[in-house]
Amino acid sequence: MSSQQLEVLIMGQSYLLKCPEGGEAQLQAAVQKVDAAMCKIRDAGKIKARERIAVLAALNLAFEPASAKPADHTQAAWDDQADPEGKMRQLLNRLDQVLGDDGRLL
């Protein structure tokens, strides 16, 4: 399967991305989702650094509640869905620990 390069804009910055043939629409949808998430964080005005905005946007997108039930049906999976704010706080605390002197995300 061959691939092509596709130029996209995310938060006003141009990126040249590899894209498998036939995957243009899927990549564009993902780019629009990332761009919207990053612009929303930027427009809130609390965070200015592009990389921090990207990390928060990635977390927000990765943590979006799934519309389906968890595949393994374990109690832990249900508990995570029951308290998404708590899970997000845990993730942010972990990131703050890793960032150390570089500063806090929020």
pLDDT tens readout for residues 2-19: 889 999 999 999 999 999
Transcribe 70-100 into DSSP letters: PTT--HHHHHHHH-HHHHHHHHHHHHHHHHG
Cα separation, 56 vs 99, whole angstroms: 13
Give the pLDDT confidence score for residue 63 in this predicted structure: 83
pLDDT for position 11: 95
Indicate the pTM of the whole model. Answer: 0.60
Q: What is the structure's pLDDT at 73?
A: 40
Q: What are 44-85's pLDDT values in tens digits?
A: 988 889 999 999 999 888 887 754 344 444 444 444 455 666
CB 34 within 8 A of CB 42: no
